[in-house]
Amino acid sequence: MHQYDALILDLDGTLLEDDGSIPAGTRSALQRITAEGIHVMIATGRSEQSAEPVIQDLGILTPSVIYNGAAIWCPIEKRLIEERNLADDHLECLLSYAELEGLLPVVMCAGSKRALSPRSETLDYALHDMKNIEIVSQSEMRVMRPIRLSLFSDRHQDTESFARSIKNISSADAYFTWFPLNLLPSHRDSPLQVVDIQPKCEGKKEALRFLKESRGIPAHRCVAVGDAPNDIPMVEAAGLGVAMGNGMDELKAVADRVIGTNNTAAIVELVDELWPQAS
């Protein structure tokens, strides 16, 4: 009998190599343990539009935590089966602040991403790999049932101070995540800082809650793997919390162990160690 019944994986910097692909060996290893009854689940900060192609490529169509825990996507039904929403007045407060400070806002809801026209080439490039994004007017940014507001800044030197400034004006409880955009492989040279504001939730720890409620798998029988601070909630709460070798120091400090980088066979080696193939 195995010690763990579920494996929760982040996407960027974890499951995916820097070129955005899933290594064939990793896909095979994950499909093997799925066939053996281990529950493999994705937990990502991506939207459903961005996560869906990767989930389909992986070929394991289990519900996935998206928007850093603010929603759960079912790739079979192709819909959100859970979602939390920012309050309208909270969104209004944040959009007004973004306009005042010259920030680039991107608002997301189920099936939709909207942004204002970027005022610089640097900010424009931040949007280049966002799927299905619309450039709209200020009034059209007030969407129904918003799940996330992302704010991009070219005026802050570090992300933590940027996040603090937004928290100071925030009019409601929310779940904040932040990172330098150059953390993403496709933006290595970007000077931008990003803060994502989601409705109040437990972050990617929501994956553990969902597994307990829907599958009866307790947290101590789950493995969680990530590379960034937004992975901390699930890595800390899981029975085995794993940081990638390319991960940020904040995550490595709370992980139970650190494995190789996302451009190696580290995930395969972890899977084969925890769930060995039958001889």
Average pLDDT over residues 246-269: 98
What's residue 126's pLDDT? 85
Q: Quick one: which H or E segment has residue 133?
A: strand 133-135
Q: Which residue has the tokens 């200020």?
A: 138
The pTM assigned to this predicted structure is 0.94
Residues of the chain with pLDDT > 70, as a percent, come to 99
Q: Is the pLDDT of residue 279 over 70?
A: no
Give per-residue pLDDT as tens, 109-124. 999 999 999 988 888 8
Pairing of strands 6-9, 148-153: unpaired
What's residue 26's pLDDT? 98
What tokens appear for 45 in the block? 């900060």
What's residue 122's pLDDT? 86
3-state secondary structure of 267: helix
What tokens appear for 269 in the block? 């080696």
3-state secondary structure of 40: strand
Q: Is the pLDDT of residue 253 over 70?
A: yes
Question: Residue type at 223?
Answer: V
How many whole angstroms separate alpha carbon 240 and alpha carbon 271? 13
Residues of the chain with pLDDT > 90, as a percent, come to 84
Give per-residue pLDDT as tens, 73-90. 999 999 999 999 999 999
pLDDT band at 169 (very low <50, low <70, confident <90, very high): confident
What's residue 3's pLDDT? 96
What's residue 4's pLDDT? 98
Contact 279, 9 (CB under 8 A): no
Can you give the length of the chain in residues?
279
Q: Tell me the average pLDDT of the chain.
A: 95
The residue that leads in pLDDT, 184 or 255, is 255
Give per-residue pLDDT as tens, 198-244. 999 999 999 999 999 999 999 999 999 999 999 999 999 999 999 99
- Domains contained in the chain, CATH given: 6-83+202-274 (3.40.50.1000), 88-199 (3.30.1240.10)
Give 14-21 contacts, CB < 8 A, sequence gap 24+: 14/225, 14/226, 14/227, 14/231, 14/244, 14/262, 14/267, 15/42, 15/54, 15/58, 15/262, 15/267, 16/54, 16/262, 17/262, 17/263, 18/185, 18/262, 18/263, 19/185, 20/185, 20/186
